[in-house]
């Protein structure tokens, strides 16, 4: 008869020595369903030094509290490092490590309130199975980005002067291991939770930006023309931004050589997997293509898409207006926007699976005309023709070789050039009348296309104009958050840092929107708001209850603008209120009255 297996044996922690390193490990098992045999694996929870002191590692820090509670450590081990973790402390006031602390707290307090209002802290707790240490570390790293210091090398020093959510010292080696522990599953779980917070028919702008990187070891890095004109490799960061709630709801990184039009399929598939439903996607002209239009129709995706006036069906409508003096007669004017508009119904169908034909749902072209913009476009056209002609005349006179064909088409697009193919010496040039005429006809016109939406042309334009707000998202990312460079060299670390950046952007966008609506006349940026709140301090002394210094002046106005309650004892109100009984002060003494005899 075989010996009965101890059910707790897989939770007993023992030392596993490898190449001189001592790891605290367990050996849990799983039963192979085919063979019925137990398959053991070894899990390292941290390291053990020479005095048997346990140092928690990545697996322990990212494990759920219930999984940690199952671990059985030897009685002779020193587990003092575990007790220092904030998530293992009892609920109530913060534990005091028998030392005096006087740390900055106001800006952190404000960001903590925003994290509660936006639900990002609650969603993080669900994503990481109520692992408070992991959530506090993410929140601390996200809040540190608002200092504008850029790199995490200074985070540990910042923690010494700032009351941050995480009490553990976040050193550079720890941050590297921690960010590498954040997985794609964590990302998708968080996106699903954020998707559940969206309403029906949410307007969402889709756009991307390039982000430079130090080093060249990341797989997604490609050399290209950086928008910031920096000679560095870069990636493309895609973001979906809700224009109703004013915050990001989705992110992904792509190789920089991926055109926007080719990235749409990946974005739509990701949004579907993350549970996003009933979104109205707003994209610029970079995402326009026949392939993407048919994809929208096939997936029944509602959208507003910027459309180039050079497209054949748009040119056809512009040509139908003929010659006009001020504006096309068939177009209506919007007095508020001061532009002319007209909507056209489009018929389009695609072949689906099994020879099924799918018809486009309310596919409409919205065409607009701005007379002021037309005059400016015509002036710019004449200037471009003159400048290109002068440059070509100089090249011909000096017999300089021309650039490659792609550069010629881009720089001298209004001229036809005749040059020697071998020497690339310019022989002659002549104005391309067809291109000039085409540019003159399109001057002042712009367009967008809608699908699945029953809205008029001006409503579509007002919705499309909202996507400019997303540019402020990228400005915040590359500005105050200091994320204009990728300062990591591993794929796992990059994904983890993007996860933290996404959390910071959610808080930052909420802060920016409230500032814009209620505090714009007093604070020019979110940094000004945080600077005003920062001097509030969190003071701790051994044996006494911690306290927060008073909120005064503009700090109270900021709390009122956000609708946040000031902590007890920090408001300017009197702690003891006056009662209506009697008059204030000492009772009046009795007087001796002397009567005349």
Cα 209 to the center of its chain, rounded Å: 11
Decide if pLDDT at 223 tops 70.
no
CB 381 within 8 A of CB 440: yes
Q: What is the mean pLDDT of residues 28-44?
A: 80
Convert 191-230 to b/e letters by CB count within 10 Å (16 or more is b): bbbbbebbeeebbbbbbbbbbbbeeeebebbbeeeeeeee
Task: Report yes or no on 292 lying in a domain.
Answer: no
Predicted confidence at residue 491, as pLDDT, reads 82
pLDDT confidence band for 279 (50 / 70 / 90): very high
**Is 21 within a domain?**
yes
Average pLDDT, the chain: 86
**pLDDT, tens digit (0-9, with 9 covering 90-100), for 163-182:** 999 988 898 888 988 998 89
Q: Is residue 381 part of a domain?
A: yes
CA distance 450 to 430: 40
The token pair at 176 is 């590297």
Q: What is the pLDDT of residues 576-592, one digit of tens each?
A: 555 555 555 666 666 55
Which of 442, 459, 476 finishes a domain?
Answer: 442
Express each pLDDT in 239-263 by its tens digit: 999 998 999 999 998 888 788 888 9
Q: How confident is the model at residue 573 (pLDDT cuts 50, 70, 90)?
A: low
Length of the chain: 597
- Choosing from 412, 442, 472, the residue where a domain stops is 442
C-alpha to C-alpha distance for 337 and 492, rounded to whole angstroms? 48
From 411, 442, 473, the end of a domain falls on 442
Mean pLDDT on 48-67? 82
The reply to whether 384 falls in a domain is yes
What pLDDT is stored for residue 486 in this prediction?
81
Backbone angles phi, psi at 20, to 5 degrees: 85, -5
The average pLDDT across 377-391 equals 95
Q: What was the pLDDT predicted at 410?
A: 86
What was the pLDDT predicted at 227? Answer: 63
Domain count, the chain: 2
Taking the C-alpha atoms of residue 412 and residue 163, their distance in angstroms, rounded to an integer, is 59
Residue 595 has pLDDT above 60, yes or no: no
Percent of the chain surpassing pLDDT 70: 90
Let me know if residue 181 belongs to a domain. no
Euclidean distance between CA atoms 147 and 175, whole angstroms = 17
- Is 329 part of any domain? no
Tell me what pLDDT residue 90 has.
45
C-alpha dihedral (109, 115, 118, 120), degrees to nearest 10: 180
The stretch 497-522 carries a mean pLDDT of 94
- Band of pLDDT at residue 393, cut at 50, 70 and 90: very high
Q: What is the pLDDT of residue 56?
A: 86
Domain ranges, residue 58: 9-83
346 within some domain? no
Residue 89, pLDDT > 50, answer no
Torsion on CA atoms 263, 266, 267, 268, rounded to nearest 10? 120
Does residue 308 belong to any structural domain of this protein? no
Percent of the chain with pLDDT over 90: 51
């Amino acid at each position: 008869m075989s010996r009965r297996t101890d059910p707790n044996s897989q939770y007993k922690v023992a030392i596993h020595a490898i190449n001189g390193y001592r790891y605290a490990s367990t050996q849990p098992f799983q039963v192979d369903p085919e063979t019925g045999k137990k398959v053991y694996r070894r899990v390292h929870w941290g390291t053990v030094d020479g005095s048997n002191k346990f140092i928690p590692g990545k697996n322990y820090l990212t494990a759920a509290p219930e999984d940690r509670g199952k671990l059985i450590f030897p009685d002779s081990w020193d587990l003092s490092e575990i007790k220092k973790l904030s998530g293992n402390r009892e609920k109530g006031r913060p534990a005091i490590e028998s030392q005096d602390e006087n740390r900055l707290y106001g800006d952190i307090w404000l960001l903590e309130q925003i994290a509660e209002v936006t639900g990002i802290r609650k969603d993080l707790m669900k994503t990481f199975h109520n692992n408070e240490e992991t959530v506090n570390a993410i929140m601390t790293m996200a809040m540190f980005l608002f200092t504008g210091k850029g790199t995490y090398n200074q985070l540990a020093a910042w923690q010494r002067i700032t009351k941050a959510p995480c009490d553990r010292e976040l050193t550079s080696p720890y941050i590297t291991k921690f960010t590498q522990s954040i997985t794609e599953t964590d990302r998708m779980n968080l996106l699903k939770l954020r998707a559940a917070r969206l309403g029906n028919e949410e307007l969402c702008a889709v756009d991307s930006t390039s982000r430079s990187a130090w080093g060249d070891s990341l797989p997604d890095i490609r050399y290209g023309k950086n928008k910031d004109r920096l000679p560095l490799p870069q990636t493309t960061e895609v973001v979906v931004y809700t224009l109703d709630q004013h915050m990001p709801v989705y992110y992904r990184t792509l190789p920089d050589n991926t055109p926007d039009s080719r990235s749409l399929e990946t974005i739509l598939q990701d949004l579907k997997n993350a549970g996003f439903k009933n979104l109205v996607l707003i994209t610029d002209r970079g995402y326009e293509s026949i392939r993407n239009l048919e994809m929208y129709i096939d997936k029944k995706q509602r959208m507003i898409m910027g459309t180039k006036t050079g497209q054949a069906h748009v040119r056809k409508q512009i040509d139908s207006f003929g010659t006009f003096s001020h504006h096309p007669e068939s177009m209506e004017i919007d007095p508020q926007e001061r532009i002319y508009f007209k909507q056209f119904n489009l018929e389009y169908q695609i072949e689906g699976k099994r020879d099924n034909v799918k018809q486009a749902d309310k596919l409409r072209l919205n065409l607009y005309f701005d007379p002021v913009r037309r005059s400016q476009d015509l002036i710019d056209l004449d200037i471009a023709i003159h400048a290109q002609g002068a440059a070509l005349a100089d090249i011909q006179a000096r017999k300089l070789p021309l650039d490659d064909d792609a550069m010629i088409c881009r720089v001298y697009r209004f001229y036809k050039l005749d040059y020697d193919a071998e020497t690339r010496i310019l022989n002659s040039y002549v104005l391309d009348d067809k291109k000039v005429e085409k540019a003159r006809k399109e001057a002042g016109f712009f367009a967008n296309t809608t699908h699945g939406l029953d809205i008029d042309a001006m409503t579509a334009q007002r919705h499309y104009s909202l996507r400019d707000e997303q540019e402020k998202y990228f400005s915040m990312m590359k500005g105050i958050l200091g994320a204009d460079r990728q300062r990591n060299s591993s794929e796992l670390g990059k994904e983890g840092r993007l996860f933290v950046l996404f959390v910071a952007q959610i808080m930052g966008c909420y802060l920016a929107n409230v500032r814009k609506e209620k505090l714009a006349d007093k604070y020019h940026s979110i940094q000004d708001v945080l600077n005003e709140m920062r001097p509030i301090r969190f003071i701790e002394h051994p044996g006494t209850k911690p306290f927060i210094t008073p909120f005064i002046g503009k700090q109270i106005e900021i709390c009122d603008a956000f609708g946040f309650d000031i902590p007890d004892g920090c408001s300017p109100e009197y702690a003891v209120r006056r009662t209506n009984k009697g008059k204030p002060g000492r009772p009046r003494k009795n007087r001796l009255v002397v009567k005349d005899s």
